[in-house]
Amino acid sequence: MLTLRIRRRTLLAVVGVVAAVAAAGGAIASWSTSTSGNAYSKAGTASPLVLSDASASTSADLYPGADGTLKLKVANPNSFSVRITAVALTSGGTITSNVAACNSGGTGVTLTNQTGLTLDLATNAGATVFSIPGAVHMSNSSDTNCQGAVFTIPVDVTAASS
């Protein structure tokens, strides 16, 4: 009798958990798939992060044979906070500079793809500059005309809601 009562209680508790999770899952599902313009889809539609020009905030710290800092200027237009977890060179992308002679002579600049980052952006955060030290490397073969140049590095940014 006692065993039966415990089993009933356990079963009810499990049913309760399942119902709660199912309800949550339903809400999340309508976030991700609805495009009909109802209240749920408006609140839950994910907009891509916005990457913009970070050259104004770029400090000069890249020299031949040394690592430098990558500057990432990104905004979060979403109504939820996000965490950037990875930054990688766009597949097939080329790093260029604002100095033609540097590009023709060879920038010598490479990006080390970054994973495991914890760069947090608040809900509806405006353009925010993140610095990732040591992400960029300049080889000793970098052309002398690259002095003072600003390098544009095409990247793919991976993030998740947090």
- Within 71-130, the residues that bind other proteins by CB under 8 A are 71-74, 78, 80, 82, 87, 90, 97, 108-109, 111
- Smallest gap, in angstroms, from Cβ of residue 47 to other proteins? 8
Give the footprint of other proteins on residues 36-75 (CB under 8 A). 46, 48-55, 58-66, 68-74
83 vs 38: CA distance, rounded Å: 27
Position among 12, 14, 43, 101 found at the interface with other proteins (CB under 8 A) = 14
- Smallest gap, in angstroms, from Cβ of residue 36 to other proteins? 19
Closer of 38 and 139 to other proteins (Cβ): 139
Residue 71: C-alpha distances to residues 59, 85, 94, 107, 130 (Å): 9, 15, 17, 17, 6
Residue 104: C-alpha distances to residues 17, 53, 90, 139 (Å): 63, 23, 21, 15
113 vs 105: CA distance, rounded Å: 24
Count, residues near other proteins per rule CB under 8 A: 73
- Smallest gap, in angstroms, from Cβ of residue 143 to other proteins? 7
15 vs 17: CA distance, rounded Å: 5
- Smallest gap, in angstroms, from Cβ of residue 48 to other proteins? 5
